[in-house]
A and B are shown apart, each in its own frame.
Chain A
Amino acid sequence: MIADRPITRRSLLAGVGAAALSACGRGTPRTVVAPLVSITRISDYGQDLFDEVRRIVTEHRVGVKGKRILLKPNLVEFNVDAPINTHPRVVHAALEAFRSLGAADVRIGEGSGHRRGSLDMADAAGYLDEIPGFEKLFTDLNFDEVTRVRLARPAIDLESLYLPNTALRCDLLVSLPKMKTHHWVGATLAMKNLFGLVPGGIYGWPKNLLHWSGIPESIAALHATFPRQFCLVDGIVGMEGNGPIQGTRKAAGVLVAGSDPVAVDATACRVMGLDPAKVSYLAMTATNGQTNEENVKQIGGTVHSVATRFAVIPEFESLRIG
């Protein structure tokens, strides 16, 4: 459980800004190609997952051949009984999919922001048992070599960050988050997962610098700094309530995927019964109106067919659709 929350005045300002941006996004005519987001119904983490993930990546025509790929799961806690971490089978399936589609190199990296020892957590979560040669494929991004990067979209008191070279030098960053509610921003999905790129070995545990700069603003800053992404949200079993750690299991039986992180997260929010336009970091970053369902080209299942109402803490009841 992360403890300290920055000044509420900032949250207030962020909320006002988000509301304003949201309103702008809804009213702005769309002039770009609608991002593609797929919804795939899948009930468990069985062997079918390998074929499904390969099909999804193929369907999205992700440019993979000859590319260096970094898979970024979400590893948060040692408690494996709760659905906190990205399921190891999802990561394995993504690894095999990108390899089979001709990637030059596929690595797995995570810099856990909550507990130190990303590899220990991966071990506890079953990654070492599930994925052959995992230790050689894995980079603990908390202790990777770093480069100071001027952020494409600075946040308050956050104009630059030291970021791991493994993430900066890959051709495609694949965000593999768990579908969870979040007690500070409503929902944690592909975009919030990028907090794991910020090295704890420099900023500590938790990465409190990002909290002081505003969590939504920091999410937006990281999103702008990593423009080449593919996202696959593990919503087969997610977490509702007091997420991202103390919540409870919620089976949604779905994978949500696409190359536009804002569109993917907005769609995942709708699956969870949350209005993406009310989620501050999505409202801030939906420059092409992705929080509006009409501006997203959806394939596979429909939101309606997989919609699963995730319980949220009282502070976020206002995010409900409708």
Chain B
Amino acid sequence: MPATQPSSIAARQQRDGGWGYGRDPWTEPTALAVLALSTEPGEHTSSVRAGTDWLRRARRTDGGWPPNPGVDQSVTWATSLALLALLRAAGEPCTGSVSWLLDTSGRETSFSFRLIRMFSEKNPDREGFEGWPWFPGTAAWVAPTGMAIRALEKARAQQPPHIERHIGERVQAGRDFLLARRCLDGGWNHGSSRPLGYEAESYPETTGLALLGLTSAPRAALEPSLERAARQFGECHSAQGRAWLRLALASHAHSVPAAADEPASRDITDAALDVLAHAAERGSNVFA
């Protein structure tokens, strides 16, 4: 059983259909809550409908989603999760949102930055592969890249051919981005594996999200990373970190080790991810 029941997530829905970290609704918890409720088909129908309606209202005219409706900027991870939620719960292709994600990449792969890097770059693990930033106009990072890859791969079958092709190219570049930034210990840090010449340590949440992004990658290349993820599981202090690891290990059909303790569930995102991880371990993985 998951530590959280989906019904308790439904009970925390706000009157306007969204979910928040605290008082007001935000995109990320709403999208994750909708995804979590969708793991019990036929249940929570009205909650899911109200949640998807909230997501449609929150979507910006550029196709992306802001972190919350008060923010005048679309961001990648909220867009990836909202896209996954609408695909899963409403079967919507969300082509405009897919296009927004495809048009967004790390600033370090922009033409002007590449030009400057030609003369100054010393860091060998920046291979120039296009990943996704958290916030437009900044560098690409592991976590938003993992999320964007999953969202685009899930959306791919419903897109027109030219967008489908573009998705294939960006997903491949995203995978290359992730593989180029794997740490020596097999997992992933936020970005570079060797910043300023020092070996970076990997983290549970970034390792989990990178492995989710690499779901379709050849298994043999990922064995050390899956082993690292399994080891991180027992060392991880946050419910969210553990949930991303569980989702990743389930996506790669790798067993999840037993853990002595259960980190506290702090908010709706922790609760929703716990439900999603539990469902994934039983064969219903919304990210796979």
Contacts and interface: CB of A to CB of B under 8 A. Distances in A.
A208 B200 contact: no
A143 interface: yes
B192 A3 contact: yes
Nearest to B29: A143
Contacts of A123: 237, 264
Interface in A46-91: 78
Contacts of B141: 3-4, 204-206, 208
A78 B240 CA distance: 14
A17 interface: no
Interface in B84-139: 107-108, 113, 116, 120, 133-135, 137-139
Interface string A160-197: 00100000000000000000000100000000000000
A264 B87 CA distance: 53
Interface stretch (B68-76, B158-166, B249-257): B68-76
A115 B202 CA distance: 11
B185 interface: no
Given A3-B189, A7-B113, A202-B75, A115 B203 contact: yes
B174 interface: no
A183 B200 CA distance: 13
A4 B191 contact: yes
A299 interface: no
A117 interface: yes
A313 interface: yes
Interface string A1-14: 11111011100000
A211 B107 CA distance: 12
Given A117-B238, A117-B266, A205 B143 contact: yes
Nearest to A124: B237
B120 A8 contact: yes
Interface string A233-252: 00000000010001000000
Nearest to A9: B116
Given A1-B201, A9-B116, A78-B237, A204 B196 contact: no
A39 interface: no
B22 A3 contact: no
B282 interface: no
B284 to A, nearest CB: 25
A32 to B, nearest CB: 37
Nearest to A212: B138
Contacts of A203: 134-135, 138
Given A1-B200, A145-B22, A204-B133, A120 B266 contact: yes
Given A143-B22, A203-B134, A242 B75 contact: no
B191 A146 contact: no
Contacts of A277: none
A3 to B, nearest CB: 3
A143 B139 contact: no
B107 A205 contact: no
6 contacts: A1-B190, A1-B192, A5-B196, A78-B238, A117-B241, A203-B138
Interface of A: 1-5, 7-9, 78, 114-117, 119-121, 123-124, 140, 143-146, 148, 157, 162, 183, 201-206, 208-209, 211-212, 242, 246, 313, 315
Given A2-B190, A204-B143, 19 more contacts: A4-B139, A9-B120, A119-B266, A120-B238, A120-B239, A123-B264, A143-B267, A183-B196, A202-B75, A203-B135, A204-B75, A204-B77, A204-B133, A205-B134, A205-B143, A205-B190, A208-B133, A211-B138, A212-B139
> Which 4 residue pairs are nearest across A and B when measured between Cβ atoms?
A204-B134, A3-B191, A3-B192, A143-B21
